[in-house]
Amino acid sequence: MSVTNTRRSRHIGITLSKRTGLVFILPALILFTVFVLYPLLTALSYSFFNWTGIVRGDFSVLDNYVTLFTKLPYRDQVPNAFFHNVLLFVGAMVFQNTVGLGLAVLLHRLKRFKRFFQTIFTLPYLVSPLVVGYLWSLMLSPLFGPVNFILKAVGLEEFAQPWLGNPATAIWVVVFVTAWQWVGFPVLLYGAALGGIPQEIEEAASLDGASSWQRFREVTFPLLTPAIGTVSVLTFIGAMEAFAIPYALGGSQGSPAGATDVLSLLFYRTAFESGASNAIGTSSAIATLLFVFIFGVAVFITWFMRKAERKLY
Amino acid sequence: MRRKLLTLAAFAAGSAMLLSGCAPSAPAGTGADSSDSADDVTLKVWSWRTEDIEKYNSIFDVYEKENPGVTVEFEAFQNTEYNQILTTGLAGSDGPDIPMVRAYGQLQPNIVAGQLEPIDGKVDGLDEIAPSVIAGAVGKEDGKTYAVPLATQTLQMFYNKDIFKENDLEVPTTWKEFVAVNETLLANDVTPIALGAKDDWILPIFADIIGSGRYGGSEFEKKVLDGSATFEDPDYVASLQLVEDMKKYMTPDVVGVSYTDSQIQFTSGQAAQFPGGSFEIATFSTQAPDMNIGSYQVPLPPKAVAEAPVTPAYADGNFAINSKSPNKEAAFKLLNWFATPEFGQLVADDLNQFSAVPGVEYSDKVMAEAWDNYEKSKAPYLLLVNFRYGEPLGTAVLGQQVQKMLLGEQDAAGAASTLQTGISQWFTPTK
Amino acid sequence: MASITPVLPTEADRILEEPRLDARPPKRRRGFSLKDATASTLLWVYALISIAPLVLMVSNSFRTTQEMASNPIGFPIAPTFSSYQKAWVTASFETYFVNSIVVTVASVVLSTVVSLLAAYAFARTKSKLFAAIEALFLSGLMLPVYLAILPLFFLLDSLGMISNLWSLILVYGALGIPFSTFVLASFFRQLPIELDEAARLDGAGSFTTFFRVHLPLVRPAIATVVVFRFVPVWNDFFYPLILIRDQNAYTLPVGITRFFGEYQTDWATLFAGLTLATIPLVVLFLLATKQIVSGLTAGMSK
């Protein structure tokens, strides 16, 4: 192995015997297997059985999955909830890659107060999603919520409305609140990525007479691809797993009229609130579909972004 | 090498301890031999009535005094989360000895899963309770009784007597008068009807308060159950149309108003009437003790099937015994007490509920009025009593459909046919 | 489910392994321009959107419900602490708070310790078995593991751990492994192998090398991992909602839901409760801004 070889070869060395290595890994492996892996695999198996309360019945092949798509209320609720998850993903992506990216670019050029703004933008990200949801539900209350109060005070009375009571606005409230909470993350991530772009590249481009928009589009933006990839994957996972914010804003029923329902809520209701006798079977089928979908798409985005990166460099 | 093996062993032992170390610390109440020494028993009772915690504690103080050595621990959970808590509590080992369980269809999964103890023949006084009330505590498949019913909930229109007086209004006895009352209030800038349409469970209640007489209460119940009518029946559709007609008497954007908001609207005098269950009486009397409340049955609309205005009602709140309880003997003793007139009177006086036990006097005026109305002409709260035995629940479907109607996204006929499609999935009429 | 999800392999892998040019201060612009003014206005506007709800939450917690009903936005002219007292004592926030601290600290310690050991092994071995285990752990970053709640519930119940803080500690401990091993392994891999060789020449065994030589060197990574597990565990609402029914074992998020049911109309107390649940995180943020910023970007800005 030559000395001038890459860092990698120097870094991955072997100093532990297999046996000692196992000793090191064992505690984590046991914990992970018992509390993550075993429940995960068991949950998959649950979905192939017919249940009566907590008593497992016959092997039912795909019956529970068929139920999800053919029987009420699932055949209505599954697509409805899924559509809201997609809206959440798209909405958050748009918000993060416009507002978030814009803020990061502005911050990048800023001389003073940079840390201050970073702190302010990131704060909502740290607050519990449940607290965020409840806080906004109070803010938007039609009776004495500050939001409608402000709208009325500045003469925008016609915009004052029961935001969470109208299905047309309720889901957008969920989207906005989610995006509002998450925006600090892309600001920091894009900020760091921008900071990592060598000044020379931008300067060279600007000497070539490129306008600042051209510079951004052709130099900066491609260099941000890896960061955008990371944001996409995390936003996707976050949007598909959304639970606490919709729960706090619309309750477990996704009120009004299912307008804020998402898949995690549907899973929760089916498993624990429906009182249906096959609750375990049906809810495990929902869980399994979600496992496959989230994991599959996350892996795909990761793979796709890696490919895109490779093309760039 | 030996050292490595030793460490390996130490790690293995360590992680094993981590996993099992806490196993013995099972939750309280599962301690052995509590059943043979009846002297010191702690009975865990669960309920969803968070608003009644103090009242229940004082009721159980009475029982504890009469039964030395028994401690009753009353725990209440939020109504909206109670189903989840009960599901997990009865499935797991940290459940209560005596859970308050839902009635009718929502009780069945617990019965089918064997989580509740049958109580036939073990509770004196069960025979005294009206069959229509006991029906809420019976297993659909095995016909056994699993719980002692707590209360009957009657559904009616509450009104603020002072607001009525200020506006020179009388309790309406005809549909025409009913409409006139609402129009007058509207003209005088008082919200006629407070309704929390954001919480969909209240909406089927409202639909029955307004429309039970229109579709014909118990008569229609028989027809739907034997298959000679469906929810698409013109009379039922017309009853739902009444709900939509009432929209102009509610707060604008009523679907944005939560149930608690609507309670505040009524108790703070911003709204004149509140369509609700008798369970509201206790809430109103705590929130606004000085308020003058009355109640009436909504008059019959034109073309009504029923001959007189009705009060829809259902049995609500059942006390059952967890089949995993180690204190069954003591639990049965408490359940027996739940079926006595002594407890019934406490339910009436302290909890302001209509006890399931007969022979109870209602000294509270509001309660007495509502109870008299109910005794005059009864009807079932149709969707709750009969249509919660399968998925989707009749109440859940109609709740969402009424929300959509109030939002202008659905009409009465569409709502009715969605309801029929939903319940048809599991309901087959029995001739 | 968690509010803070770790950065995934794609990004950080590359950044951690490839040397990066140091971030430079942005090019200095001369004078004051309209562009700068617009930029800073935009930043201030968004800062307001970002912080106003939180400020309102704190300021309203010092007002009474009556004040809020008449004027939803207002300065607490005569600040009152009574709603804090009510939330802390009457609404049992004290209990929830202590439970949250116990669960969060214990589970973060647990996951960090086991992950340190595992990550070290991943970085210092080369075999298919270890690579497979590492990949298994990593997949945990992308799987919605919370959906496996039903079997987990029955498992914990059979262990007698339901409604017991142990259940949360162990579950969160296990859930922290994927992220923690991922970050820590990246750091261990950056430590030159010569360190190990030198230590071995001095006669140190594997464990001594690990404790004496490596552990002190990855301290910054440990700080990141600790901070980054603290936040989602503190904020998590799903697991205690289902695993805990004993109200004395509630953590803050479930406590808040219960509290929202009971105090629906008591806005002042609600705001006080929300503020109480948020304070520890703000303190953490102020103490560890650096770790948070660097953790969020997992080495990008280094």
CB-based contact B134:B346 (threshold 8 Å): no
Q: Would you list the DSSP string of C155-181?
A: HHHHTT-TTSHHHHHHHHHHHTHHHHH
Claim to verify: residue A115 and residue A33 sit in the same structural domain? no
Q: Is residue C19 part of a domain?
A: no
CB-based contact A109:C40 (threshold 8 Å): no
Q: SS3 for B147? A: strand
Q: What are phi and psi of C97, to 5 degrees?
A: -60, -50
Claim to verify: residue C75 and residue C97 sit in the same structural domain? no
The torsion angle over the Cα atoms of residues C187, C146, A45 and B89, rounded to 10 degrees, is 140
Q: Is residue A92 part of a domain?
A: yes
Claim to verify: residue A133 and residue A274 sit in the same structural domain? yes
Claim to verify: residue C230 and residue C154 sit in the same structural domain? yes
CA gap C67, A3 in Å, rounded: 73
Q: Is residue A56 part of a domain?
A: no
Claim to verify: residue A295 and residue A157 sit in the same structural domain? yes
ipTM of the complex: 0.85
Task: Find the residue in C nearest to B265 (Cα).
Answer: C265
Q: Tell me the chain C residues in contact with residue B24 when contact means C-beta distances shorter than 8 Å.
A: 160
Identify from C65, C150, C153, C282 which residue to disrupt to test chain A contact, counting A C-beta atoms within 10 A and taking the largest count: C150
Q: Is residue C35 part of a domain?
A: no
Q: How confident is the model at residue C31 (pLDDT cuts 50, 70, 90)?
A: low
Q: Is residue C205 part of a domain?
A: yes
Residue B63's contacts (CB-CB under 8 Å, 6 or more residues apart) are B70, B72, B334, B337
Tell me how close the Cα of C236 comes to any Cα of chain A, in angstroms. 7
| B288 has a pLDDT exceeding 60 | yes
CATH number of the domain where residue A122 is located? 1.10.3720.10
Task: Find the residue in A nearest to C73 (Cα).
Answer: A146
Claim to verify: residue A123 and residue A27 sit in the same structural domain? no
Claim to verify: residue C98 and residue C63 sit in the same structural domain? no
Comparing CB atoms, the residue among B20, B27, B78 nearest residue C246 is: B27
| C171 has a pLDDT exceeding 50 | yes
How does the average pLDDT of chain B come out, rounded?
A: 87
Claim to verify: residue C197 and residue C282 sit in the same structural domain? yes
Task: Find the residue in A nearest to B196 (Cα).
Answer: A165
Q: What are phi and psi of B78, to 5 degrees?
A: -60, 135
Claim to verify: residue C73 and residue C122 sit in the same structural domain? no
Q: Is residue C22 part of a domain?
A: no
CATH number of the domain where residue C293 is located? 1.10.3720.10
Report which of B159, B151, B156, B158 is spatially closest to residue B349, judged by C-alpha positions. B151
Question: pLDDT at position B1, please?
Answer: 43
The string of pLDDT tens digits covering residues B5-18 is: 444 444 444 444 34
Claim to verify: residue A134 and residue A211 sit in the same structural domain? yes
The string of pLDDT tens digits covering residues C68-105 is: 777 777 777 777 888 898 888 888 889 999 999 999 99
Q: Tell me the chain C residues in contact with residue A284 when contact means C-beta distances shorter than 8 Å.
A: 150
Claim to verify: residue C286 and residue C164 sit in the same structural domain? yes
The string of pLDDT tens digits covering residues B292-347 is: 999 999 999 999 999 999 999 999 889 999 999 999 999 999 999 999 999 999 99
Q: Which fold has domain B154-313+373-423?
A: D-Maltodextrin-Binding Protein; domain 2 (3.40.190)
- A139 CB within 8 Å of a chain B CB: no
Structure-token pair, residue A100:
């978030």
Q: Which of C80, C106, C138 is the last residue of a domain?
A: C80
Comparing CB atoms, the residue among C46, C72, C136 nearest residue A145 is: C72
Q: Is residue A51 part of a domain?
A: no
Q: Is residue A140 part of a domain?
A: yes
Segments of chain B assigned to CATH 3.40.190.10: 8-151+314-366, 154-313+373-423
Claim to verify: residue A295 and residue A200 sit in the same structural domain? yes
Q: Tell me the chain A residues in contact with residue B4 when contact means C-beta distances shorter than 8 Å.
A: 19-20, 23
Q: Is residue C137 part of a domain?
A: yes
Judged on CB neighbours under 10 Å (0-12, 13-18, 19+), B400 is buried
Claim to verify: residue C97 and residue C46 sit in the same structural domain? no
Identify from C157, C163, C241, C259 which residue to disrupt to test chain B contact, counting B C-beta atoms within 10 A and taking the largest count: C163
Claim to verify: residue C59 and residue C196 sit in the same structural domain? no
The count of CB pairs under 8 A between chains A and B is 129
Claim to verify: residue A21 and residue A70 sit in the same structural domain? no
Question: pLDDT at position B51, please?
Answer: 80
Give how many domains chain A has, as a whole number: 2
Give how many domains chain C has, as a whole number: 2
| B25 has a pLDDT exceeding 90 | no
Claim to verify: residue A133 and residue A242 sit in the same structural domain? yes
What is the DSSP pairing of strand B271-277 with strand B191-193?
parallel
Structure-token pair, residue C258:
């219960």
Q: Is residue C10 part of a domain?
A: no
Q: How confident is the model at residue C294 (pLDDT cuts 50, 70, 90)?
A: low
Question: pLDDT at position C292, please?
Answer: 65
Q: Which of C80, C108, C129 is the last residue of a domain?
A: C80
Comparing CB atoms, the residue among C72, C147, C190 nearest residue A144 is: C72
Q: For the ranges B34-38, B410-414, C41-45, C188-192, which has the lowest average pLDDT?
A: B34-38
- A42 CB within 8 Å of a chain C CB: yes
Q: Tell me the chain C residues in contact with residue B4 when contact means C-beta distances shorter than 8 Å.
A: 206
Q: State the residue for tokens 């943020």.
A: C285
Claim to verify: residue C176 and residue C69 sit in the same structural domain? no
Question: pLDDT at position B209, please?
Answer: 96
Comparing CB atoms, the residue among C11, C19, C140 nearest residue A36 is: C140
Comparing CB atoms, the residue among B75, B81, B92 nearest residue C153 is: B92
Q: Would you list the DSSP string of A286-300?
A: HHHHHHHHHHHHHHH
Q: Is residue A260 part of a domain?
A: yes
Tell me how close the Cα of C48 comes to any Cα of chain A, in angstroms. 9
Q: Is residue C215 part of a domain?
A: yes
The string of pLDDT tens digits covering residues B353-393 is: 999 998 899 999 999 999 999 999 899 999 999 998 888 88
Q: Is residue C180 part of a domain?
A: yes
Contact A255 B84 (CB under 8 A): no
Report the interhelical angle of C149-158 vs C165-175 (nearest 10°): 130
Task: Find the residue in A nearest to B391 (Cα).
Answer: A276
Tell me which residue range forms the domain holding A145: 65-310
Contact C162 B77 (CB under 8 A): no
Judged on CB neighbours under 10 Å (0-12, 13-18, 19+), C294 is buried
Claim to verify: residue A8 and residue A122 sit in the same structural domain? no
Claim to verify: residue A163 and residue A216 sit in the same structural domain? yes
What CATH number has the domain spanning B8-151+314-366?
3.40.190.10
The string of pLDDT tens digits covering residues A75-127 is: 889 999 999 999 999 999 999 999 999 999 888 888 778 888 888 898 898 89
- Across the range C222-247, mean pLDDT stands at 89
Claim to verify: residue C103 and residue C190 sit in the same structural domain? yes
Question: pLDDT at position C73, please?
Answer: 76
- A79 CB within 8 Å of a chain C CB: no
Claim to verify: residue A40 and residue A70 sit in the same structural domain? no
Q: Tell me the chain C residues in contact with residue A54 when contact means C-beta distances shorter than 8 Å.
A: 154
Q: How confident is the model at residue C297 (pLDDT cuts 50, 70, 90)?
A: low
Structure-token pair, residue B235:
């009379």
Contact B112 A253 (CB under 8 A): no
| A30 has a pLDDT exceeding 70 | yes
Q: Is residue A271 part of a domain?
A: yes
Claim to verify: residue C211 and residue C99 sit in the same structural domain? yes
Does the predicted TM-score (pTM) go above 0.90? no
- Across the range A202-217, mean pLDDT stands at 75
Contact C164 B25 (CB under 8 A): yes
Tell me which residue range forms the domain holding C205: 92-297
Claim to verify: residue C241 and residue C103 sit in the same structural domain? yes
Claim to verify: residue A160 and residue A259 sit in the same structural domain? yes
CA gap B276, A49 in Å, rounded: 42
